[in-house]
Amino acid sequence: MTTVQSLDRAIELLRLISAEHKSGARLSALVAASGLAQPTVHRLLKQLVEGGLVMQDAQRRYRLGHFAYELGLVASTHFHLRDQCAPYLARISAETGDTAFLVVRSGADSFCLDRQSGSFPIQVLTVEVGKRRPLGIGGGGLALLSFMPPDELPDVLDRIEPHLHAYGGLTRETLLGLIQTARAQGYASITNYAVAGVTSIGVPIHDRGGVVIGAISVSAMTARMQPREGMVVQTLQREIAGLQKGL
């Protein structure tokens, strides 16, 4: 195994462990999710533990370690997207009455950076802050996937395809159809596949160079969202346009 392969595999293990940050990740689960042999996973985890990036708790579950926390604190001083988006996210949730999410890309996953709830009595809290899911899941994740550079899409689809079925039986073919629709209409919309009976609409955020750096989505019960989709899309597009001017 080359040094680059080892690094790629170690990074993937870190992503898998961070996805289970609340409960911790078992060795068997990491082996199954990574597709690597158990001795390889065990060796990489041992190195990550020695480096402080991973720790093992009393239940022998793996979690991110102290050095990962230290790196996060240092890196946070250079990444202000959450702070910049906060007032726009608040206005979107206030105007729509529904929950608004800010997500960014992390490899082949989307990562929830922030969430604001609206005033409607029934809020759809499909994903928690700090949670990651495969790209394409939820309105924000679908927006990130749909508007990424086209040459990157096949590789990402190959990576997420084994995990799609867990989300309402989603398939690669169905996802490709949703991507095509999103590109044609300029925003992403997905129903049922993240949570049954829920529709999520997502719009990408571009930097000044036109690169997608995140997405904001709104989720609601489908019966509530369908007659209001136009209003929700307009609200998202207006607020994101204002946000992009200030980036």
The neighbouring-strand residues paired with 191 are 199
Query: What mean pLDDT is reported for the chain?
Result: 91
pTM of the model: 0.78
Q: Which residues contact 214 (CB under 8 A, 6 or more apart)?
A: 81, 85, 102, 103, 104, 105, 113, 140, 144, 204, 205
- Ordered by start, the domain boundaries in the chain are 3-75, 79-246
Assigned fold of 3-75: Arc Repressor Mutant, subunit A (1.10.10)
Checking if the pLDDT of 2 tops 90, the result is: no
Task: Count the Cβ atoms, other than its own, within 10 Å of residue 244.
Answer: 16
Give, as one character, the DSSP assignment of residue 25: B
For 50-86, write each residue's pLDDT tens digit. 999 999 998 999 999 888 888 877 776 656 889 999 9
The CATH code that applies to domain 79-246 is 3.30.450.40
Residue type for 218, please? V
Q: Answer whether 75's CB lies under 8 Å from 60's CB.
A: no
| Confidence band of 34 (pLDDT split at 50, 70, 90) | confident
For 175-212, write each residue's pLDDT tens digit. 999 999 999 999 999 999 878 899 999 999 999 889 99
> How far is Cα 150 from Cα 128, in angstroms, rounded to an integer?
29
Q: Which residues contact 7 (CB under 8 A, 6 or more apart)?
A: none
pLDDT for 220: 94
Kind and range of the H or E run holding 191: strand 188-191
Instruction: Please give the residue that has the higher pLDDT: either 78 or 107.
Output: 107
Residue type for 14, please? L
pLDDT for 76: 67
